[in-house]
Structure 1
Amino acid sequence: MFDYIIVGAGSAGCLLAERLSANPRTRVCLLEAGPSDRSPLIHMPIGIALLAKSKTLNWAFETQPQANLGGRRLFWPRGKTLGGSSSINAMVYIRGHRDDYDSWGEAADPIWSYDNVLPLFRAMESNERFGTDAFHGGDGELHVSDLRTRNPLSDAFVEAGQQAQFPRAVDFNGETQDGVGLYQVTQHKGRRWSSARAFLSKAKGRPNLRIVTGARATRIILEDRKAVGVTYAVGGKLVDVRTREGEVILSGGAVNSPQLLLLSGIGDAAELNAFGIPVVVDLPAVGKNLQDHLDITIMHEANDHTPIGIAPSFIPRALSGAFSYAFLRKGFLTSNVAEAGGFVKSTPSRSRPNLQFHFLPTLLKDHGREIAFGYGYTLHVCDLLPKSRGRIGLTSPNPLDDPLIDPSYLSAPEDIETMVAAVKIGRQILSAPSMAAFSKTELVPGPAVQSKADIVADIRRRAETIYHPVGTCRMGRDPQSVVDPSLRVRGVQGLRVVDASVMPTLVAGNTNAPTMMIAERAAELILGKTKLALSTDMEAAR
């Protein structure tokens, strides 16, 4: 019997496990479907290049065929190990824009507005460069640092952005987000600093915390609309774990959390009936409101060997890099690959940036699953504020089957206009003198792709996710939301969702840091350390 059962040891779940188990009288069980985070590919930053291929550490989902992307099924990697996606991501530390959180405050409660969540970000952060200031913290568990070694092309990209008349950004998480610059990363002394390293490592030895890996949750145990436990599959057996007047907390992410709700009879009654699942709570919004950042790449073949390459001529640098990493924790193996980037507007009329760049001083094909021989560089550009909405659903009542994932990319007509602008602006920067000096030729879209019609066709043929799905268990004050502003599931007692799925809308940036912040706020709510600013009769709403 436990006080809290947490399903999913990802960016949110690891932090929750630490916070809730800090009281030695509180018993916490943390379930993770994947293995422990022992793989050296996790801890060596450039190991990200191989993690997309892993079927052990990665859910490796696929979407439904996308009508507006040529009927393609898109690859959706999600972390399946301690640390979740924070153990396989590019480690870019971005919080998003002030307006993102202010809109959450309006949709849910003022405790989610920017001024009220900024202290949470600061408290969990230990920033190597900024220390403690108005926007950063210097004493938290989450190490944030500059890259110890970066490729000269990343500095050339930033200079090219300035030549293209975009401002230089010193701190994307500071006063303003606008501009181009170098990313800070969740690393410490040249190694990845995942949520598992930051939070779970300090709690692992606690006798009141039980961590079960290889445990695939199959259903929430419900009695009279109250969550009293979880059934999970491990080693070919089903095991029940129960709470004692406590809570079940879903932290499986924007894909797995709504799937588990649906499998447990919480969701759209019509969908549940279609799969023969008894309806416990008819909650149509479960799985809906899926949002993601659609991304397009521009790749150039380089005219010299400055980039990180795959070629016989790179072998001496590879050996030197391995030595540097092993003994100094420096060199190109400490690179997250996405070293530089920026935030710009697709049109001057925009009130804030709606495009994000990730610049890689190497060639990247098919999420790293396809070997890209030679020397070159890649610019990712994504739409930060898409209007398109999709859903997560079921493909069968079997809890071990993958869920239905339908992002409905480009279903909103304005999104394709934004993507076309993204390509044009990306090309503008890469053609500026600092980057043009390194280019032999543009590989994709390619010199022949110039007209709007050709650019649109190329986007539909090649665009992919940049790995930021959210919104499928939307929080809000309205009774149609899945969770209330305290992240409690409507219509069920003792059940919360704490992960990226509760975001009402996407943040304008990478989602790892915001997800940790959500967990920090949830821990305060659960432990009674903070209260909602607006009084609500939540029991009546249930």
Structure 2
Amino acid sequence: MVGAGAAGAVLTARLTEDSDRTVLLLDAGPIPRGKDGFGPALLDARLVPGAQPNHPATTAHPVRLTPERPWLVTRGRILGGSTTVNGGYFIRARREDFDRWAAAGNPAWAYDEVLPFLRTLESDLDFGPSELHGGQGPMRIRRNRIEHPAALAFHDAARHFGYPTDPDKNDQAPPGFGPVPSNAIDGVRRNTGLSYLSPEVLDRPNLTALGGCQARRVVIKDGRATGVVVEHDGRRITIEADSVVLSTGALSTPHLLQLSGIGPRAYLERLGIPVVRDAPAVGAHFSDHPQVVLDWTPREDLDDPADSWLGGCLHLTSTGGPPDGAGAAGDLEILQSLVPMSGLVNGVVRVPEAPLSFLVSAQTPRPTGRLRIRSADPDTPPDIDYNFLSTADDFRRLREVIRVTAALIDTPAFADISQGLLDPGHEVLDSDRALDDWIHEHLGTAQHTCGTVPMGPADDPEHGAVDQFGRVHGVRALRIADTSILPDTPQRGPAATAVLIGELIADAIRRGRR
């Protein structure tokens, strides 16, 4: 097992429940034991370690959001992966996401099929066990309270415009304003390491967990994965295995496959990499959510958040809908931060007189990205293009969600606590062309990359690199278990779906399902 992140930790915990199975878990980062091993600074749910440049628990991938917009995408490099360094947002994908993936040749991913796994993985501390929610799963889920003055103002502003109440964003009800389901409990970010790989699980006799192991390539002989080459303690060694599962993340996994000879033939041959499997879908069309940050200035110093940086969250449906006219419910997201962005970047909760922010994004699935290997040297990062803002609809959606956010801040509810939106000003907001220029200059990403090794039928190699249970087409004993297998990014952040991937693939392995 390579990778102890959002899905890898889940898969490891479930597979080692079978005493007759032996698992070797390798991760490039450290593998702390329990809360004391992580330390309070890393687990403080009022902060986002992944927002802090050069945080030791992260690794940064150089990318281009547009041809003129370089960026660094940060991912977790520690037990729990990005669930250790992200914001604790834990919203399920929408029913239409699951059913879209199922219709693409992956019937096990239909909503009604995955719902039992969604219940199994969680303990919902607000709604308890039901037909929709679980009560005994490893991931403890709680919705942040709408009590902070800024969150209350957001609530009232949403009501002012008649947006529906959305008290449980995991129940597939019509989208609207509500609290964020989160794996932050009593101020502690409960990552998949804490939730699934407790010290008791790490001590199972059939599990060996080894940190500081950087995977370099998968060893494949006669069409079968037989091990991995890793760097450990300054030495390059080959570790043999009966089967290999890669769970290194949606940016690292496709790169590792390409280094191993699994990817588009033309690119591999150009670099002198022996082709094991011509897999044109690897890295060919991934997706993510474009995002911009809108700052507003409080009239006076507001309270520090009690347990989480997250405030309220509004999902609304874009008026134009996707290009095909089939509207997607809640494809725009306005996510509130109760900690200044300068605080999140610098690892502190309080920054006197600093503005607060909304993170606004367009969440329509748009598989525009491309990842291609640039060298057979594993230390050379791949070439990663997100190709955001490639259509007029991309700009239209972002313009709409920005203008809605500006209108919310202009309501009487916000006027009591806010001096108004800092940027963009009305002269920009009122002009499509000026606002498009502003979007291009301020564009970021929600860091929700999916689809770099998409699941789909073997007879459609342009769109499917693995089957619905993560098995790599044409290579025996090799599976992928992370968000790279999703055909595209769901219409919500993918953390909860990443945990689901671990549960679903573990079940497939344990049942011997094809």
Please give the TM-score of this superposition, normalised by the length of structure 2: 0.92
Alpha-carbon separation, structure 2, partners of 1:366 and 1:462: 19
1:246-267 CA distances to partner (integer Å, 9 max, x unpaired)? 3211111110110000000110
Find out whether 1:216 has 2:196 as its counterpart: no
Q: Indicate if the aligned counterparts of 1:218 and 1:233 stay in contact, CA closer than 8 A.
A: yes
Find out whether 1:513 has 2:508 as its counterpart: no
Aligned residue pairs total 497
Find out whether 1:384 has 2:363 as its counterpart: yes
Aligned to 1:33: 28
1:363-391 CA distances to partner (integer Å, 9 max, x unpaired)? 31597259976243211111111435111
1:498 offset after TM fit, Å? 0.8
Alpha-carbon separation, structure 2, partners of 1:388 and 1:431: 34
Cα gap change, 1:405/1:177 in structure 2, threshold over 3 Å: closer, same or farther? farther
Greater shift in the superposed pair: 104-113 or 212-221: 104-113
Q: Pick from 263, 279, 293: which aligns with 1:297?
A: 293
Aligned to 1:352: 329
Q: Pick from 233, 236, 245: which aligns with 1:249?
A: 245
Counterpart secondary structure, 1:116: helix
Paired residues for 1:331-350 under 5 Å: 332=305, 334-335=307-308, 337-347=309-319, 350=327
Q: Indicate if the aligned counterparts of 1:7 and 1:13 stay in contact, CA closer than 8 A.
A: yes
Find out whether 1:83 has 2:55 as its counterpart: no
Aligned to 1:261: 257
1:274-304 CA distances to partner (integer Å, 9 max, x unpaired)? 2221111111111112100001121111111
- Cα RMSD after superposing both structures: 2.0
Q: Indicate if the aligned counterparts of 1:361 and 1:376 stay in contact, CA closer than 8 A.
A: no
Paired residues for 1:395-474 under 5 Å: 395-450=374-429, 451-474=431-454
User: Identity of aligned pairs, percent?
Assistant: 30
Counterpart secondary structure, 1:73: strand
Q: Pick from 167, 170, 173: which aligns with 2:167?
A: 170
**Residue identity opposite 1:36 in structure 2:** I
Q: Indicate if the aligned counterparts of 1:34 and 1:56 stay in contact, CA closer than 8 A.
A: no
Find out whether 1:11 has 2:9 as its counterpart: no
Q: Indicate if the aligned counterparts of 2:288 and 2:366 stay in contact, CA closer than 8 A.
A: no
1:19-53 CA distances to partner (integer Å, 9 max, x unpaired)? 11111221101111112342432211123257522
In structure 2, the gaps of 5 or more residues are 33-37, 322-326
1:187 offset after TM fit, Å? 2.4
Cα gap change, 1:415/1:149 in structure 2, threshold over 3 Å: closer, same or farther? closer
Greater shift in the superposed pair: 165-174 or 399-408: 399-408
Cα gap change, 1:414/1:299 in structure 2, threshold over 3 Å: closer, same or farther? same
1:361 offset after TM fit, Å? 2.4
Cα gap change, 1:149/1:166 in structure 2, threshold over 3 Å: closer, same or farther? closer
Q: Indicate if the aligned counterparts of 1:41 and 1:51 stay in contact, CA closer than 8 A.
A: no
1:427-475 CA distances to partner (integer Å, 9 max, x unpaired)? 1222222122222132122344221111111100001011100000000
1:495 offset after TM fit, Å? 0.4
Alpha-carbon separation, structure 2, partners of 1:428 and 1:380: 15
Alpha-carbon separation, structure 2, partners of 1:416 and 1:47: 30
Alpha-carbon separation, structure 1, partners of 2:173 and 2:64: 37
Alpha-carbon separation, structure 2, partners of 1:63 and 1:373: 33
Alpha-carbon separation, structure 1, partners of 2:380 and 2:157: 47
Alpha-carbon separation, structure 2, partners of 1:235 and 1:392: 29
1:186-236 CA distances to partner (integer Å, 9 max, x unpaired)? 023331110111111142011211111111000001101100001110121
Alpha-carbon separation, structure 1, partners of 2:11 and 2:488: 22
Q: Indicate if the aligned counterparts of 2:409 and 2:420 stay in contact, CA closer than 8 A.
A: no
Counterpart secondary structure, 1:518: helix
Paired residues for 1:301-340 under 5 Å: 301-306=297-302, 308=304, 332=305, 334-335=307-308, 337-340=309-312
Aligned to 1:364: 341
1:61-108 CA distances to partner (integer Å, 9 max, x unpaired)? 2213622xxx12112111110000000011011002110001111113
Aligned to 2:238: 240
Q: Pick from 507, 511, 514: which aligns with 1:524?
A: 507
1:341-362 CA distances to partner (integer Å, 9 max, x unpaired)? 1210111763411101211123
Alpha-carbon separation, structure 1, partners of 2:317 and 2:187: 33
Please give the TM-score of this superposition, normalised by the length of structure 1: 0.88
**Residue identity opposite 1:249 in structure 2:** V
Alpha-carbon separation, structure 1, partners of 2:280 and 2:149: 51
Counterpart secondary structure, 1:417: helix
Find out whether 1:107 has 2:104 as its counterpart: yes
**Residue identity opposite 1:279 in structure 2:** V
Q: Indicate if the aligned counterparts of 1:45 and 1:333 stay in contact, CA closer than 8 A.
A: no
Alpha-carbon separation, structure 2, partners of 1:53 and 1:482: 33
Greater shift in the superposed pair: 298-307 or 510-519: 298-307
